[in-house]
A = this chain, B = another copy of it.
Amino acid sequence: MAKTYKATWIWYPGDFEVWLGNRFNNRRTERGGVFPPFWKQDSHWSMVEFSKSFHLKRIETIFITAEGNYNVVLDGKRLFGQPAELHLQPGEHQLNIKVQNLLSPPALFIQGRTIYTDASWLVTYEDKIWIDENGVAHGSGIYVHPGYEDFDTPEQRPSLYRLKRKTIPVYSVKHVRRGRLYDFGRETFGYLSLKNIKGVGTFRIYYGESQEEALDTEHCETLDVVEVSLEGITDMATGQQSPYSENYTLPASKAFRYVYIISSPQLLSNVEADYEFSPYKPLQSGQFRCSQKDLNKIWDVGAYTLDLTTREFFLDGIKRDRWTWSGDAIQSYLMNYYLRFNSRCVRRTIRQLRGKDPVTAHVNTIMDYSFYWFKSVYDYYLYTGDLEFVRELYPRMRTLMDYCLGRLDDKGMAVGQPDDWIFVDWVDFPMPKRGVMCFEQILLCKALETMKFCAVELRCHPQENPPQGSLTNNDYAGDAQKYEALFDRLLKQTKALFWSDKHHAFMHNLDQGRVNPMITKFPNMFAILYGYVDAKEKQQIMEHVMLNDKIEKITTPYMRFYELEALCEMGMLEYVLQEIKDYWGGMIREGATSFWEKYNPGEHDIQHLAMYGRPYGKSLCHAWGASPVYLLGKYFLGVRPTSPGYATFEVKPADYRLTGDMDGCVPTPYGRISLKHRRGEMTLSFEGGKGELVLCSEHRPKSNIGVFVPDKQTKNCYRLALEEPKQEYKIEY
């Protein structure tokens, strides 16, 4: 993924995310007061050194731009001031540039004919010069390749990075009590603009994801107060002042569908909003259409929900928390691989969640969220094939894993320490979360497996010129061995401790020496998903847990994601389809224009708005609500990578009887895989990699194309090798 063809801004890897995350995660407000996260917020390195050795054949002039104060040392000689231009002679050169910046990451942009900043440079925060007994100076710091995105001109300074905006109008307005209620027609996100302000006075602005919330001035979650005087306009929450103007856009973004404004009657004639969004290319995006309109609507609302929550990072909900959460984000990533394939946002969020060393708490303070974080790296690599990102991240994977391992109990099992949050899910029934939880062991197993997997991949694909201080192949080999042993042991212990032959299920937890015989879907469905049970046990879990009405129901889209995925993996697409229509369709029937944080079909009306003991505490646009985008792409269009970066992949369309006609696309690093399914006929194309089309037993192929082989394992489906990209495969059956 190295970008070597042109100049780009570079910085210390991860620092852009640390910096952007600090801005991002501190935008949450609750009734006008800032509500920052309760975990550690790191800082970028304020001083770093960029360097490059090179050979010039001809004289060359390079132009230097930096974010921060900088110096330039050329061939060991410190130059005067902060030169913007260097004239280099032919020959060998060594360029070292230190940049200091407290406010945003020190960043460098150099343009020249053959010499320019790109991924091949080195960067360190500690060059560690030392002088030996012979007076010779040594540099022994740890160097890495820089971070970069696509800021490719001197003017595109990384610190100026913003999402895009466009103006959207109000859909309808009505007078309610002393104020006016504006309806934007659907859930949206951005900056409210007050238009044609006349005279002076105060605006009291109440936002609502629902009409009820906006009108409930005492309890709505977010609000603004704007004071207009002849001297200027003041945003009272932040104290920010602007000159007097007829039109005023609020400085802070909010989530809303409704806005209720109380002001003197003549003060305001209209509002609109600056919708803020992360841009994407529709022709490179995932798509889904089928004969069932309700399913299409669900996919559309899911896609809109994911788009609203795809911002500088993937966030949980746009009203609150407006923070990055690892457990939420891993689902956004997976949905994203089937919608926008915005890998940049995935990388950013993974880096931001990890932050910097030392690790002083689990990711988001939640033990499960640390474990998901590892899994998210595995997923990212599988979908994108971007091993350089894994290489960059690996040292921080190690230190986070060290932290996790350092907190195991004396049997080597993950246990909630007093300062760990054990989340699992929001449940409406009493579910103990302390002691050794089976669910957490299974997640930790996957994290250990991921560590081993990444160590093996990195060892198999060594760097050509590893920067000084890089991990060596020996390090990776040692790690692979270590993590595999830990994984094997933990999985064995977990099964021995929690699997019950009597109940055909994993038990809940071990606390104070006793195994709690409570059974929940959580550990059981993850054991299926991660492949930690054999075929027989899977069937037992299906019967005794997943499809057992006596087991407590899952009431968050968050865990329904995994529940339905596990059912899909077990081939129960028909059942899952109905669940999607009932559950997500249920939200739409309740008026949802984006999917919610929690949905209990047994509740009614304003019950749907309440959560956390607050009448409008629930987020009505929550990323984890968008999972149909993932399920429909992966299990109904049936597309999934079978080796990293879609080098090989599988397309296994669902039975025609489930969806009827179906048209869809799934983005990959090579472009899109497109599928058109009509009764008795499938049309398929792809842009790169090698695939296999898998037809289920109901779709016996007419041998008009290629050679279908019966599947060795299941024997009841047919496999066709897809060898030729950029060609249209038409298959009749």
| Chain A interface residues toward B at CB < 8 A | 22, 26, 30-36, 38-41, 43-47, 69-73, 78-82, 98, 100, 102-103, 125-134, 139-142, 225, 236-239, 357-358, 360-361, 365-366, 418-423, 430-434
Q: Is the CB of A365 within 8 A of B43?
A: no
Which residues of B are found within 8 Å of A82, using beta-carbon distances? 237-239
**Closest chain B CB from A712 CB (angstroms):** 46
Interchain CA distance A433-B134 in the complex, whole Å: 10
Q: Is the CB of B33 within 8 A of A133?
A: no
**Which residues of B are found within 8 Å of A131, using beta-carbon distances?**
421, 423
Q: In whole angstroms, what is the CA distance A32 to B237 when docked? A: 45
Does the CB pair A419–B140 fall under 8 Å? yes
Residue pair A38, B225 in contact (C-beta under 8 Å): no
A440 CB, nearest partner CB in chain B, Å: 14
Contact A81 B360 (CB under 8 A): no
Q: Given A43-B46, A419-B128, A419-B140, do A36 and B98 touch, yes or no (CB 8 Å)? A: yes
A43 adjacent to B40 (CB under 8 Å): no
Judge whether B129 and A80 touch: CB under 8 Å.
no
Residues of B with C-beta under 8 A to A44: 43
The residue among A72, A129, A225, A419 with the most chain B CB atoms within 10 A of its own CB is: A419
By the criterion CB–CB under 8 Å, are B128 and A39 in contact? Answer: yes
Number of copies: 2
- Within 8 Å CB of A419, what residues of B? 128, 130, 140-141
Chain B residues whose CB sits within 8 angstroms of the CB of A431 once the complex forms: 133
Say which residue of B41, B69, B130 sits within 8 Å of A365 (CB atoms): B130
**What residues on B are CB-neighbors of A31 within 8 Å?**
78, 80
Do residues A33 and B239 form an inter-chain contact, with CB atoms below 8 A? no
Query: A132 — which chain B residues lie within 8 A by C-beta?
Result: 433-434
B36 near A360 with CB under 8 A, answer no
- Whether the Cβ atoms of A418 and B140 lie closer than 8 Å is yes
Q: Which residues of B contact A32 (CB under 8 A)?
A: 80-81
Q: What are 17 A-B pairs with beta-carbon distances under 8 A?
A: A22-B47, A32-B80, A32-B81, A34-B70, A36-B98, A38-B139, A39-B128, A41-B125, A43-B44, A80-B236, A81-B239, A82-B238, A128-B365, A129-B365, A129-B421, A131-B421, A133-B434
Q: What's the Cα separation between A225 and B83 when bound, in Å?
A: 14
Query: Which residues of B have CB within 8 Å of A422?
Result: 130
Q: In the complex, A72 Cα to B103 Cα: how many Å? A: 24
Q: Which residue of B lies closest to A429 (CB)?
A: B133
| Minimal beta-carbon separation of A170 from chain B (angstroms) | 26
- Min CB distance A19 to B, Å, is 8
Say which residue of B26, B129, B239 sits within 8 Å of A38 (CB atoms).
B129
Cα A129 to Cα B423 in complex, Å, equals: 12
CB nearest to A35 among chain B residues: B78
- Which of chain B's residues have a CB closer than 8 A to the CB of A47? 22, 26, 36, 41
- A98's nearest neighbour on chain B, judged by CB, is B36
For A34, A38, A129, A431, the residue with the greatest tally of chain B CB atoms inside 10 Å of its CB is: A38
With a cutoff of 8 Å between Cβ atoms, the chain B residues found around residue A430 in the complex are 133-134
- Kindly list the 4 A-B residue pairs having the minimum CB-CB distance in the complex, ordered from nearest: A130-B421, A43-B43, A140-B419, A32-B80
Contact, CB under 8 Å: A26 / B100: yes
Contact assessment for B237 and A80 in the assembled complex, using a CB-CB cutoff below 8 Å:
yes
Write out the residue numbers on chain B whose beta carbons fall within 8 Å of the beta carbon of A36: 47, 71, 98, 100
Distance A73 CA – B31 CA, assembled complex (angstroms): 12
How far, in angstroms, from A605 to B33 measured CA to CA in the complex?
A: 68
CB distance from A105 to the nearest CB of B (A): 11
CB proximity of A654 to chain B, nearest CB, Å: 38
Given A103-B102, A434-B133, are A80 and B33 also a contact pair (CB < 8 Å)? yes
Minimal beta-carbon separation of A8 from chain B (angstroms): 24
